[in-house]
Structure 1
Amino acid sequence: MDVFFLLIFLAFVFVLLIGGVLYWAIMAGQFDNTEENANAILHDEDSLTVQAGSEQKTANRRS
């Protein structure tokens, strides 16, 4: 029976800990802008292609 009360207490502490971490994450702005970072990877490839193209043009001018 003592183990049962210990498990109830530990579960309650665990729930409070998870709630505190979730509250901290929300207040710190972790979930404010989820779309910008998700779309950033789509735009990175375009900028790398432009850079690679300009490097090839520079290499062609040198030869």
Structure 2
Amino acid sequence: MESLYLLIPLSALLVLLIIAVFGWAVHRGQFEELEGEAERILTDEAGALDGRQGRAAGRTEES
């Protein structure tokens, strides 16, 4: 029973912290444009690899 005196206030603080982080993310515009980044990934050029990036994993070079 005594553990509830600690766990209930801690859980209430955790809920308030989660709400505060969500409110901060909404205020900073994190949820403004959800489709833009998803479309950018799909339409990104495949030739944008640099010298350090090789072929995709699991593919072998054909000789």
TM-score band by shorter chain is 0.5 to 0.7
* Structure with more of its chain in helix, by fraction: 1
TM-score, normalised to structure 1, is: 0.68
Name the residue aligned to 1:18. 18
Q: Percent identity?
A: 45
CA–CA distance in structure 1, aligned partners of residues 5 and 32 of structure 2? 39
CA–CA distance in structure 2, aligned partners of residues 24 and 44 of structure 1? 30
TM-score, normalised to structure 2, is: 0.68
5+ long unaligned stretches in structure 1: 49-63
Q: Which runs of 4+ in 1 moved over 6 A?
A: none
- Where 2:23 maps in the other structure, the secondary structure is helix
Give the number of the structure whose alpha-carbon radius of gyration is greater: 1
- Alpha-carbon deviation of 1:45? 2.9
